[in-house]
Amino acid sequence: MVYLTRREHFNGAHKLYINSWSEEKNREVFGKCANKHYHGHNFDVYVTVKAVPHAETGFVINAHHLSKIMKREIVDRLDHKNFNLDVPEFKNKLGTSENVAIQIWRWMEPHLTDCKLHCVKLVETENIYVEYFGE
Amino acid sequence: MVYLTRREHFNGAHKLYINSWSEEKNREVFGKCANKHYHGHNFDVYVTVKAVPHAETGFVINAHHLSKIMKREIVDRLDHKNFNLDVPEFKNKLGTSENVAIQIWRWMEPHLTDCKLHCVKLVETENIYVEYFGE
Amino acid sequence: MVYLTRREHFNGAHKLYINSWSEEKNREVFGKCANKHYHGHNFDVYVTVKAVPHAETGFVINAHHLSKIMKREIVDRLDHKNFNLDVPEFKNKLGTSENVAIQIWRWMEPHLTDCKLHCVKLVETENIYVEYFGE
Amino acid sequence: MVYLTRREHFNGAHKLYINSWSEEKNREVFGKCANKHYHGHNFDVYVTVKAVPHAETGFVINAHHLSKIMKREIVDRLDHKNFNLDVPEFKNKLGTSENVAIQIWRWMEPHLTDCKLHCVKLVETENIYVEYFGE
Amino acid sequence: MVYLTRREHFNGAHKLYINSWSEEKNREVFGKCANKHYHGHNFDVYVTVKAVPHAETGFVINAHHLSKIMKREIVDRLDHKNFNLDVPEFKNKLGTSENVAIQIWRWMEPHLTDCKLHCVKLVETENIYVEYFGE
Amino acid sequence: MVYLTRREHFNGAHKLYINSWSEEKNREVFGKCANKHYHGHNFDVYVTVKAVPHAETGFVINAHHLSKIMKREIVDRLDHKNFNLDVPEFKNKLGTSENVAIQIWRWMEPHLTDCKLHCVKLVETENIYVEYFGE
């Protein structure tokens, strides 16, 4: 079993703000991230899959093929988008890195047939990242 | 003469959109950056100053002091802000990296008295950065 | 279950030297690290915690809150310190990266109540790092 | 139990090309990697070992000693080499990152006696890496 | 005047070997780089252009447009290529990083009309890079 | 004229403390860097030289040869050393990054005969670096 990881990139905007809360409570919990005019990040997303390498090609998965799936399922949905306004899945759920990572798992998993999805890692800044292993 | 460079960081949102242009022309010129709901970046800003090191301290500038000026003049104005909506200087001028770098120079220069401002470098993504030398 | 990792930074000095050994044996085992006048590193410390994201906030932990705990428990104790001379825990135990990582776990764990500490990763140079998972 | 990871570096050339396949099929499966004149990469290899730190030295393994084993077993065999032509193990097996990682495990494991080999990670580009855990 | 830099990436193979020299002299001058079966690198190329930002768009150059020129003029010619065998410009001249940087300048310059080419930087490994300023 | 840059690495310890000043004044000017027991850094040093590439070899300088000079002139003097106690040049002058960069220029310049020394860059942390151009 070998694990292969591929990185893709997208830039998004979001705000962490719960409408049913007061402005004060939002500021207290989310700090500067509650700015009502949004802020954004350069997100790096790493998708890790695992399989026994194919006997002839030596591949866990063709990394170019994995890249195409990631671009279609992740980048096209999130790049240069406002998560709160442009992404249906985050209309009623906060687009925290935690929730975005779980959602990326759901988008990717159905399209990985010859190998198994192992991890989605989402890097928000050089100081913060999250990982989701599907359970 | 020695050059000293200090990095600080901020996350912002912006859109590249000229209101007097049509939606089509904005899309044609600015591509995905014209998304009306904004997108964002993790910006790294590098400020370079130059001076003959002080005979006793061996310092061009106290890097901790430079950091404090940068936080007050740059980070407090731009971090977790929407450049188009929250920053007065970009109400009537596009907040491209080029324009932001020039503006940072204007904010910083009056506060550097014992050394000379040499360069403002603004890194928008790992693939794009701009530099402004004040002329 | 989502894993969230936060990075903080400190600069320290140490030497790897066992007083009950001869100078020769120290040099043989620890090489240049045995220099009696100390040497130092820029250490990056990554703390990983895990939890089911909170239903409302979407957070495993507020990353700003985690940062404050790390600064108080780790950075205030180790930054710009000489591990051998300034840190009580390393008076009688070598401050190798392995031992420092285990000690960081002990400092952090009591303060993580709503999520579970998963890993302490300590990066000594770009070529060497250690990880401790608490067992 | 603490995990220690050491990085080493090598530059190699390879092509992904199966001789029993047609030129067309090679191009279809391996894309630009099938160029018959080879292409190359800067490979970073990370070897992770695990052990209870030694009571006196505080070491999982002497990182300098681990480095010497990696240079002898990995770098001397692969650095500035053409995997297809210069490395016996890849005469009849494609030198994909997956297969190279498995081979590195085989070269390293017999030489790690006081600690246990945990992972071989091979970074092919900043966007692709593989990991092998020996099973 | 603002300077804008864009990075692109390619993987190539080359050998440093002068046919009119003996094997011994090649080894003596070029070391491992003289391996007759080639070796390779992940090359990062940074192209820097300069101009007064456009009054309306705030752009030195549209970075997406610069990227397209770089992909056509540089990446399509060098990516997954063997410089010695696949690139006409290096049939009779060694494909050292120095020579490749000069050649990239020649390929790029005719296509930069509204701004001025300032620098071509070619990163061969994390420890070595070259820069060419056109003079 | 092409510029070639080579990176080497060393780990050192220092304190910023002027003996003729009071403890209070040292703390006020140098902050945590005045800790009398020292602190340390992983220093990256980049040396840039310039020349017209050699007609036959295509080299500004053989990067391997430059590396050997840097190891002998810089790394052997500073690696795993305490600048204040182990390096004669910093017995009576503070080992700030500014002063160390100037000193590295003095050590390197006499040994560069076929090319010209252009810049010494010393990276103290990921947030601070200095550059010296010899004038």
8 Å CB contact of D128 and A60? no
- Asked if the C-beta of F24 comes within 8 angstroms of chain C's C-beta atoms, the answer is no
Residue A109, amino acid: E
- Which one, of B51, B39, B40, B42, lies nearest residue B8 by Cα? B42
Cβ-Cβ contacts under 8 Å, D62 against chain C: 29
Residue pointed to by tokens 């359970």: A135
8 Å CB contact of F11 and C37? no
Cβ-Cβ contacts under 8 Å, A58 against chain D: 16, 93-96, 98-99
Residue pointed to by tokens 């139990």: D1
Which chain E residue lies closest to B33 (C-alpha atoms)? E64
Q: Are F57 and E94 in contact (CB under 8 A)?
A: yes
| pLDDT band, residue F83 (cuts 50/70/90) | very high
- Model pLDDT for residues D67-83, shown as the tens digit of each residue: 999 999 999 999 999 99
Regarding chains E and B, contact by 3 or more CB pairs under 8 A is answered as: yes
Say how far apart CA B104 and CA B109 lie, in whole Å.
Answer: 8
Say how far apart CA C131 and CA D48 lie, in whole Å.
Answer: 10
- Asked if the C-beta of B44 comes within 8 angstroms of chain E's C-beta atoms, the answer is no
Q: Which of D54, D80, D98, D109 is catalytic?
A: D80
> Partners of D40 in the beta sheet?
D13
CA-CA-CA-CA torsion sign (E8, E9, E12, E18): positive
H/E element, E58: none
Which chain B residue lies closest to F120 (C-alpha atoms)? B2
Residues of A acting as catalytic residues: 33, 80, 124
Give CA separation, F130 vs A57, B118, F124, in Å: 48, 13, 8
pTM above 0.90, yes or no: yes
The phi, psi pair for D85, rounded to 5°, reads -105, -30
Say how far apart CA E29 and CA E18 lie, in whole Å.
Answer: 10
Residue pointed to by tokens 């503006």: B103
Which chain C residue lies closest to A101 (C-alpha atoms)? C2
Give CA separation, D124 vs D45, D68, D100, E1, in Å: 9, 22, 11, 38
- Which one, of D135, D110, D105, lies nearest residue D120 by Cα? D105
8 Å CB contact of C40 and F79? no
Taking residues D9-31, report their average pLDDT. Answer: 96
- Model pLDDT for residues C28-60, shown as the tens digit of each residue: 999 999 999 999 999 999 999 999 999 999 999
Interface of E with F in 103-132 (CB under 8 A): 126-132
| pLDDT band, residue A21 (cuts 50/70/90) | very high
- Which one, of B78, B58, B60, B57, lies nearest residue B9 by Cα? B78
F contact test, residue of C39, C41, C81, C82 with most F CBs within 10 A: C39
| Residue C111 structure tokens | 């303060």
In this predicted structure, what is the pLDDT of residue A38? 97
In this predicted structure, what is the pLDDT of residue D122? 98
- Model pLDDT for residues A55-104, shown as the tens digit of each residue: 999 999 999 999 999 999 999 999 999 999 999 999 999 999 999 999 99
- Model pLDDT for residues F19-61, shown as the tens digit of each residue: 999 999 999 999 999 999 999 999 999 999 999 999 999 999 9
H/E element, D8: strand D2-14
In this predicted structure, what is the pLDDT of residue C132? 98
F contact test, residue of E22, E131, E135 with most F CBs within 10 A: E131
Which chain E residue lies closest to F8 (C-alpha atoms)? E127
| pLDDT band, residue E124 (cuts 50/70/90) | very high
- Asked if the C-beta of E95 comes within 8 angstroms of chain D's C-beta atoms, the answer is no
Other Cβ atoms less than 10 A from the Cβ of D40: the count is 26
| pLDDT band, residue D40 (cuts 50/70/90) | very high
Option in A6, A7, A58 nearest D93 (CB) = A58
Quote the strand ranges of chain E, DSSP E.
2-14, 39-51, 81-82, 116-125, 128-132
Interface of D with C in 61-90 (CB under 8 A): 62-64, 67
| Residue C96 structure tokens | 């190798």
Distance of CA A48 to the CA centre of its chain: 12
Regarding chains D and A, contact by 3 or more CB pairs under 8 A is answered as: yes
F contact test, residue of E33, E93, E129 with most F CBs within 10 A: E129
- Asked if the C-beta of D24 comes within 8 angstroms of chain A's C-beta atoms, the answer is no
In this predicted structure, what is the pLDDT of residue D12? 96
8 Å CB contact of E40 and D39? yes
Number of H helices, E strands in chain D: 5, 5
- What CA dihedral angle connects F79, F81, F86 and F89, to 10 degrees? 50
Residue A34, amino acid: A
A contact test, residue of D130, D132, D133, D135 with most A CBs within 10 A: D130
- Closest-CA distance, B72 to chain E, in angstroms, reads 24
- Asked if the C-beta of C40 comes within 8 angstroms of chain A's C-beta atoms, the answer is no
- Closest-CA distance, A128 to chain C, in angstroms, reads 5
In this predicted structure, what is the pLDDT of residue E109? 98
Residue A74 DSSP class: I
Say how far apart CA F27 and CA C96 lie, in whole Å.
Answer: 28
Say how far apart CA B78 and CA B40 lie, in whole Å.
Answer: 12
Option in B6, B58, B63 nearest F94 (CB) = B58
Q: Is D115 noted as a catalytic residue in this protein?
A: no
Domains present along chain F, CATH in parentheses? 2-132 (3.30.479.10)
- Buried b / exposed e along F5-40 (16+ C-beta atoms within 10 A): bbbbbbbbbbbbbeeebeeeebeebbeebbbeebbb
- Model pLDDT for residues F96-112, shown as the tens digit of each residue: 999 999 999 999 999 99
Say how far apart CA D20 and CA E21 lie, in whole Å.
Answer: 37
Cβ-Cβ contacts under 8 Å, C42 against chain F: 41-42, 125-126
In this predicted structure, what is the pLDDT of residue A32? 96
The phi, psi pair for A38, rounded to 5°, reads 80, 160
Quote the strand ranges of chain A, DSSP E.
2-14, 39-51, 81-82, 116-125, 128-132
8 Å CB contact of E7 and B127? yes
Say how far apart CA B101 and CA B45 lie, in whole Å.
Answer: 9
H/E element, A98: helix A97-108
Positions of chain B with pLDDT under 50? none
H/E element, D11: strand D2-14
Q: What is the DSSP string of F16-84?
A: ---TTS-HHHHHHHHGGGG-TT-EEEEEEEEEEEEEPPPTTT--SS-HHHHHHHHIIIIIHHHTTEEHH
8 Å CB contact of B32 and A126? no
> Partners of A47 in the beta sheet?
A6, A120
Touching chains, C (3+ CB pairs < 8 A): A, D, F
- Asked if the C-beta of C17 comes within 8 angstroms of chain D's C-beta atoms, the answer is no
Which chain F residue lies closest to E15 (C-alpha atoms)? F57
Option in B3, B7, B59 nearest F96 (CB) = B59
Cβ-Cβ contacts under 8 Å, D31 against chain A: 64
